[in-house]
Amino acid sequence: MADGTRRTRAFEEVLLQVERRIADDGLKVGDRLPGERQLAEQLQVSRSSVREAIRVLETLGVVSSQVGRGPDAGAVLTSRPDSALTDLLRLSLGLSSLSLREVIDTRLMIERWSAEHAARAAPLPEPAEALMEAMLAMEAAASAEDFVRHDIAFHVAIAEASGNRLIAAVMRALRGAMRKYAIEAVDRLGDTRVLREDHRRIYDAIVSGDTATAVDAVTAHLAHAYPELF
C-alpha cells in the first residue's frame, strides 16, 4: 500500500537544507559550500549521504567539486545548466520517450524566436563576428562531423545574440543531444550547399535587422535539413 509519501531519504534532506541555505544566506555563484565532513556533522547524516546530495547538485549544474586545498577547493556554487539539459535530452531521446518530431518542432520554435530577436537586436558586432566565423569554418569542413560542429556553433550564436541565456542554454542542449542525428542528416543529404546558402541568408537577414526574413530563412533551413518532417 503506497501512502504516496515515501519516507524522505537522507540525501534529500541534505538537498533541502543546502537549497534553503542558498536562499537564506544569499549564496552566490563562486561561494563555497562547507566540506563534506563538516556538512555531514552539521546535518547529522553520514558523509555518503552528503556526497549523494552533492552529486545531485553537480548533475543539476549548481555546484562544481574540486579536490585539493585552497580557495577553489571543495564544492563551489556554479551555474552551468547546459550540460544537465543536454544529458537530460540525450537520455530521453535514448529511451525513445521523445520522438524526433517533437524535438525538431521544439527546435524550430526556438530557432524562429532566436532569429527574430537576434535580428531585432542587430547590429551587434560580436555576434555577427561569431556567425561569420562559424560560416567560414563550415565552408572548410572536411567531414559531416566537422560541419555539424560549426553548424551547432552558428545556431547557438544566434540564440546567444537574442540576449536570452535560458533560450541559448536550451538551444545548446537541444543541438548537443541531437548531434548524432544531425550528422546522419548531413550524411543523407550528401551535399551541404543548400544548407550553406541558407546560413548566408540567415546571416544577412540578422545583421541587417530584417526580422521577418530572418524567421522565414531559419524556417526554410530546417525544412531543408529535415525534409521528411515537412
Nearer to DNA, 49 or 86 (CB): 49
Dihedral pair phi/psi, residue 62, rounded to 5°: -100, -30
**Nearer to its own copies (CB atom), residue 85 or residue 183:** 85
| Minimum distance from residue 70 beta carbon to its own copies (Å) | 14
Q: Is 61 helix (H, G, I), strand (E, B) or coil?
A: coil
From CA 202, how far away is CA 3, in angstroms rounded? 55
Pattern 98-117, binding to its own copies, x per CB under 8 A?
Answer: x---xx-xx--xx--x----
Work out whether 13 is an interface residue with its own copies (CB under 8 A): no
Choose the one of DNA, its own copies, none that binds residue 98, judging by a C-beta under 5 to 8 angstroms depending on kind.
its own copies
For residues 34 to 53, the per-residue mask of contacts with DNA, x marking binding by CB under 7 A and - elsewhere, is -xxxx-x---xxxxxx-xx-
Placement of cell 546558402 in the chain: 197
Write each residue from 8 to 27 as x if it is in contact with DNA (CB under 7 A), else as -, in one continuous string.
-xxx----------------
Q: Based on CB atoms, which residue is closest to DNA, 34 or 209?
A: 34
Q: CA 31, CA 64: separation in Å to the nearest integer?
A: 11
* Length of the chain measured in residues: 230
Size of residue set near DNA by CB under 7 A: 31
Decide: is 29 part of the binding site for its own copies (CB under 8 A): yes
| Residue ranges binding DNA (CB under 7 A) | 2, 7, 9-11, 33, 35-38, 40, 44-49, 51-52, 54, 65-75
